[in-house]
Amino acid sequence: MTAAACALLAVGACATVPDPARHRTAGTQAAVPAGPQARAQAPARTGAQAASGYERWPAVPVAGSTAEAAAPVRLRVPAIKLSTKVIPLRLDTEGRLVAPKSFDRVGWNEAGPEPGERGVAVVAGHVDSTTGPAVFHRLRDLRRGDRVHVDRADGSTVTFVVGRVTRYPKSRVPDKEVYHGGRGAELRLITCGGTFDRARRSYRDNVIVFAR
């Protein structure tokens, strides 16, 4: 994997939403343990408008190896009963990741490695929405040994095994540890977590799954 440039990307998994306590399920409640101060302030939004009001993801790789794998089309995580489409996420003019507009889809950083390609592939999704839990609301429930399957455009499937699930304050995500793995193919699943800051209407941490 090229260790070259890493760009600071927008944290699309953290929509600006109303107080989740008003529509929280058991899965959502489990995803909001304590955390440090939020990084950015944003006004409350509703419906589709919430999809553009995000905080920040930490830096991610923008280039993979020369031997590209097929693009991902579906993510399946049996342990949390998740099966959803994968859409490509582009970078904006400032090098930030444009978040998924849909709360029931995950997005893959198409500027980086494809899942199964040498390097660290990044897949991100929302934890919450204006109406309830979103696609990655149970991400923090994953445990070591759980399987993550990525179906690809060429009909193949690559399977990753979860090594750990970690929550970091958004201001202190260790980019090298998260985005620069070993010599093989690795996967990171990212969403938001931590305490929901009612004043700022945002979550305070990132939940990151490490898999290979």
**159-200 confidence digits (pLDDT tens):** 999 999 999 998 888 888 888 877 899 999 999 999 888 887
Our count of domains for the chain comes to 1
177 found inside a domain: yes
What are 92-98's contacts with CB under 8 Å, separation 24+?
Answer: 92/10, 95/7, 95/8, 95/9, 95/62, 96/7, 96/8, 96/9, 96/10, 96/56, 97/9, 97/10, 97/12, 97/57, 97/60, 97/124, 98/10, 98/12
If one compares 56 and 186, the residue with the highest pLDDT of the two is 186
Tell me which residue range forms the domain holding 30. 6-211
Q: Using pLDDT thresholds of 50, 70 and 90, give the confidence band for residue 23.
A: very low
Place of tokens 């500027």: 111
What is the average pLDDT across 119-146? 95
Lowest mean pLDDT among 24-33, 48-57, 181-190: 24-33
Q: Picking from 45-54, 56-65, 90-99, which range would have the lowest pLDDT averaged per residue? A: 45-54
Residue range 63-84: mean pLDDT, rounded = 84
- CATH, residue 162: 2.40.260.10
In a domain, 103, yes or no: yes
